[in-house]
Structure 1
C-alpha cells in the first residue's frame, strides 16, 4: 500500500483531524504581493496603503534575497480597505490612504 492509500484509509476510518486556525494563519492564506515600502507607503493596484508603523521599514531591504528585497504584503481581494505587511517585527495593518473618500467598500475586481 502506498502512503497516500494508507492516509485515505485512515481518513475514511477516523475522519480529518481538526485544525484550529489562528488570526495569523488566516493572514498567511490571503493572496500575497511582493512590494517595496517607500516613503509614501505601499502601492498595490493603483492604490496606496500607509501606516505610521511602517516608518522603520521604509526603503529597507526585507531580507528576502530571492524576492529582491521586496516585502511580503497580503491582501484580501474582497476588502481593499487595508493590507497586511509581514515584517521581522510582526504583522502591520496598513489602511488605504483614500479610504475616507469612498462611500462604500468595493472589491478589487470592481
Structure 2
C-alpha cells in the first residue's frame, strides 16, 4: 500500500515537472530575443524643469521615481552589493536556480503560506 502511494507521488511529481518543462519551453520559444531591443531600451524617466540658467528646479515623474543610467555609469560596487544580497549564485546558474526554487517551495509548504521566493535576478 505504501509503495503504491509512493509511486503515485513520483508519477505526479514527474507529470508536474514535465508540464513545467513544456511551459518553460513555450515561453522560451515565443519570447522575442532581439538583443537590440534590450540594448536600446529607454524607460520613461522624469521630466526636468530648468530655470533660464539651466539649473534644475524640479523633476516631474509619470509613474515611477527613476533616472536612466547606462550600464557603464553604474558603480561596480553597487552591482556587487546587489548580487551579494539578491542572488549570490548569479554566476553559477544559467538564470534559473533550481535549488532556490526547491528551498522556497519546501519553506512555503512547511509554513503553509508564502514566506520565501526562489526567483533569481534574471527571472
TM-score by length of 1: 0.27
For the pair shown, the structure with the greater C-alpha radius of gyration is 2
Where relative contact order (Cα < 8 A, 6+ residues apart) is larger, the structure is: 1
TM-score by length of 2: 0.25
